[in-house]
Amino acid sequence: MSQSPQDAEDAADAERVHRRAELLPEEEAAGGSDDPEAQAAQILDESDERTDDPSGTRAESTQTPGRDRT
């Protein structure tokens, strides 16, 4: 039985979250995380939002100051 496109996308998202949940050395040094999977999902959601709508999220972001470069 083959996966539906949505199932394949969900599996890819789950793998992406799992990979991000593996803490970086500086995150480990800062004390780690109580729930690395939830933290990773939140980080990736915010990143995707900034990627999908850079102009709309620019004012909210402290990491992307300045004007659009489009």
pTM for the predicted model, two decimal places: 0.61
* pLDDT band of 22, cuts 50, 70, 90: confident
* Tokens (6 digits) for 17: 């979250």
Residue 8 structure tokens: 């394949």
Mean pLDDT of 5-15: 87
pLDDT at 68 over 60: no
pLDDT band at 8, cuts 50/70/90?
Answer: confident
Q: How many CB atoms lie within 10 A of CB 53?
A: 10
pLDDT tens digits for range 23-65: 778 888 888 888 989 999 999 998 898 888 888 777 776 666 6
Integer Cα distance of 25 and 32 in angstroms: 9
